[in-house]
Amino acid sequence: MTYFFVGGSQRAGTTLLQSILCSDDTTSPLLQEAMYFRSMISTYQLGKTILTTKLKDYFSSLEELRNFNASWVKAFLEHTLHRFAPIKHLVLKEPHLTMLFPEIYELISGAKFLIIVRDPRDTIASMIEVGERLASQGYQDIFTTMFTTRDLKQLCNHYKSFYAPSIHYQIPDFQQQVLYIKYELLVENPLVQIDRIKSFTNLTLNKFNQNATWQRSKIDFSATSPDYNPWYTELYGKPISANQINRYRQVLTESEISIIEQECADAFQIFGY
C-alpha cells in the first residue's frame, strides 16, 4: 500500500497527472481536491513553529507533536482508503498541498510525491485567463484579485512558492521519493513519461489511454466547462492534447513575457526551460 501525492503549481496540469495515476485499478478513482487533508498538514506545520511558545503546555517535544499528528493523519488516510475498498493505493491532489510535501514526508512513512512543472509563461497566462473568468462570473476572492491585476512579479513568486519547499528540503530520502514531470513532455510524448511514472510508482496504469476520456473519475467532467467553473478548461476529462503549449503568446504582451523570464530565471534554469 502506498500513498501518492500529486503536486505542482495551480494551472500546471496537476489534475491531468492525478487522472493518469488513477487510471490504475489498484488506486483510488480521481477524487475531489484534498482541501481537508491540507488543513490537517497545515496544522502540523503551524505546530512546529509555535511548539516552544504556544504549544509548550500541550506537547513536550517535536517528536511528541509529530507522533500525535501522524496518528491523526494516518486515521484520515486509512478512512479514505477503506471508503474505496478494495483499492490498494490512495492518490490525493490539491495544488497548495505541494507546499507541505516535506511535512507529509515527516508524518507518513513511504509516501511518494509526483510534482508536475510547466513553463512559467504558460502557467501564469492560464492564471490570468482564470482571473478573467472569475471576474466575469462575479467572484471576489484572493485569486480573482491576484490573477486580474496582472502583477507579474507577484504571479512569478506565486508560481515559485509551490515548488520551493520541496526543492529546498534537501533530505536525500525525501528527494528519492519525489518524481518531477514536465507538462510539455507529458502531453507531447505521453508514453515516455508514462513509463517513468510506472517505474517510479510500480503501477501498471492499466486503463491509461492517451486518446480516450479520463478513466475512473468521481468527477463528472461531461458537465464541466469554463462557463460552469472558471477553474476548469476545455481539456478536462478529454484525451491528452498539446495545444496549450506556448499559449502564453496569445495572452501576454512582450513586456510581460520579459518580466516573467527575468523574475522566473531561477525556475527556468532548475526545470530546464
Q: Residue 118, Cα to own-chain centre: how many angstroms?
A: 11
Contact of 233 with 226, CB cutoff 8 Å: yes
pLDDT at residue 233 in the model: 79
CATH code at 19?
Answer: 3.40.50.300
3-state class of 228 per DSSP?
Answer: coil
pLDDT at residue 224 in the model: 56
pLDDT at residue 139 in the model: 87
**Is residue 33 over pLDDT 60?**
yes
- pLDDT digit string, tens, across residues 176-229: 999 999 999 999 999 999 999 999 999 999 889 988 777 777 776 665 556 667
The predicted model scores a pTM of 0.95
Pairing of strands 112-117, 178-182: parallel
Give me the percent of the chain exceeding a pLDDT of 90.
Answer: 85
Q: Which strands sit side by side in the sheet containing 178-182, from one edge to the other?
A: 90-93, 3-8, 112-117, 178-182
C-alpha to C-alpha distance for 88 and 106, rounded to whole angstroms = 22
Buried b (16+ CB within 10 A) or exposed e, 172-199: eebeebbbbbbbbebbeebeebbeebee
Low-confidence winner among 33-37, 52-56, 232-236 (lowest mean pLDDT): 232-236
pLDDT at residue 167 in the model: 97
Contact of 240 with 187, CB cutoff 8 Å: yes
Low-confidence winner among 48-57, 165-174, 226-235 (lowest mean pLDDT): 226-235
Residue 93 backbone dihedrals phi, psi, to 5 degrees: -150, 140
Residue 116 backbone dihedrals phi, psi, to 5 degrees: -100, 135
- pLDDT digit string, tens, across residues 80-117: 999 999 999 999 999 999 999 999 999 999 999 999 99
Domain span at residue 214 reads 3-271
Contact of 263 with 152, CB cutoff 8 Å: yes
User: What mean pLDDT is predicted for residues 66-82?
Assistant: 97
Q: Residue 52, Cα to own-chain centre: how many angstroms?
A: 32
C-alpha to C-alpha distance for 268 and 227, rounded to whole angstroms = 32
Q: How confident is residue 172, by pLDDT bands cut at 50, 70 and 90?
A: very high
Q: How confident is residue 230, by pLDDT bands cut at 50, 70 and 90?
A: confident
CA-CA-CA-CA dihedral for 86, 203, 17, 23, to nearest 10: -50
- Cα atoms in the 13 Å half-sphere on the side-chain side of 196: 16
pLDDT at residue 226 in the model: 60
User: What mean pLDDT is predicted for residues 116-125?
Assistant: 98
At 261, which helix (H) or strand (E)?
helix 254-263
**Is residue 126 over pLDDT 80?**
yes
How big is the chain, counted in residues?
A: 273
Q: Residue 209, Cα to own-chain centre: how many angstroms?
A: 21
What's the domain count of the chain?
1
First to last CA, the chain: 35
C-alpha to C-alpha distance for 118 and 153, rounded to whole angstroms = 17
Grid coordinates 516535506 are at which residue? 102
